[in-house]
Amino acid sequence: MRSDLLAFGPLVEQSGEKWGIGRQTDHVVRDAVGGEHTALSFFGTYHHRIDPKGRAAVPAQLRRWIPDGTVVAPGPDSRLMIWPPDEWKSQEERYRRTAETPAQARRFVRQLFGNTYPLELDAQGRLLLNPWQRTWAELDDSVVFVGLGEVVEIVSERNWTEQEGELEHDAFTRLNDLVIQRGAARPSEPPA
């Protein structure tokens, strides 16, 4: 496996190469040096400062793999979500199907799409968070970027510390046990 990929994670198609397994995805990203690669999962937690103009540096480990057409949208729990284009398209459809009435759909789509913006980075890799985004996510001078698989979450340092800052071992163990009970392969077992 290429060592320059290890900083972020293995390609989906290469992750099972040794075992002859894995799946291809349609989503291709272009890295900072112009190479194309199959989509990766975003992971990791990165703490950054927000400058007085509302700019926050997007972590290089994430920035390298964010494709053109990515958006920043409001998310649950006073968070912002960075959605790559393919995932955003899927999410759009889920949002539209969730409404119970046409009026509710219009209101929801208006609020969601009216507050979703293209992810645009300056030459230093900083994202300008507008006043509405900073208010929605309760951001002041610190921000946490959290990889959640196919998306990246933007959360205030304060909310991160209060809500998820410390991983509770017992809660994680219970969740892991539940996943295993529902049919997922055990960590020591290779997938069938």
In tens, the pLDDT along 111-164 reads 888 999 999 999 999 999 999 999 999 999 999 999 988 889 999 999 998 877
Query: Could you read off the pLDDT of 66-115 as tens digits, one per residue?
Result: 888 999 999 999 999 999 998 888 888 888 788 888 888 888 888 888 99
What does each C-alpha distance from 167 to 16, 86, 163 come to in angstroms? 29, 30, 10
Q: What are phi and psi of 94, to 5 degrees?
A: -60, -45
Listing DSSP states for 134-176 in one string gives HHHTT-SSEEEEEE-BSSEEEEEHHHHHHHTSS--HHHHHHHH
Pick the residue with more confidence: 35 or 179?
A: 179
Report which of 75, 114, 69 is spatially closest to residue 87, judged by C-alpha positions.
69
Query: What pTM did the predictor assign?
Result: 0.68
> pLDDT tier at 176 (50, 70, 90 boundaries)?
confident
Three-state secondary-structure class, residue 179: helix
Calculate the CA 25 to chain-centre distance: 17
Only one residue has tokens 């071992």, namely 169
Q: Over the Cα atoms of the chain, what is R_g?
A: 18
- CB environment 122-150: b (16+ within 10 A), e (fewer): eeebbbebeeebbebbebeebbbbbbeeb
Average pLDDT, the chain: 77
So what's the pLDDT on residue 167? Answer: 65
Looking at the DSSP bridge assignments, the partners of residue 154 are 80, 145
Q: Are 81 and 73 in contact (CB under 8 A)?
A: yes
Alpha carbon distance 4, 11 (integer Å): 11
Candidates 169, 137, 141; CA nearest to 153 is 137
**CA-based nearest residue to 130, from 146, 118, 147:** 118
Distance CA 47, CA 154 (A): 10
Predicted local confidence at residue 156, as pLDDT: 95
The model's confidence at residue 37, banded by pLDDT at 50, 70 and 90, is very low
CATH 3.40.1550.20 residue ranges for the chain: 43-181
Task: Give the CATH H-level superfamily of domain 43-181.
Answer: Transcriptional regulator MraZ domain (3.40.1550.20)
- Cα–Cα distance, 82 to 96 (Å, whole number): 19
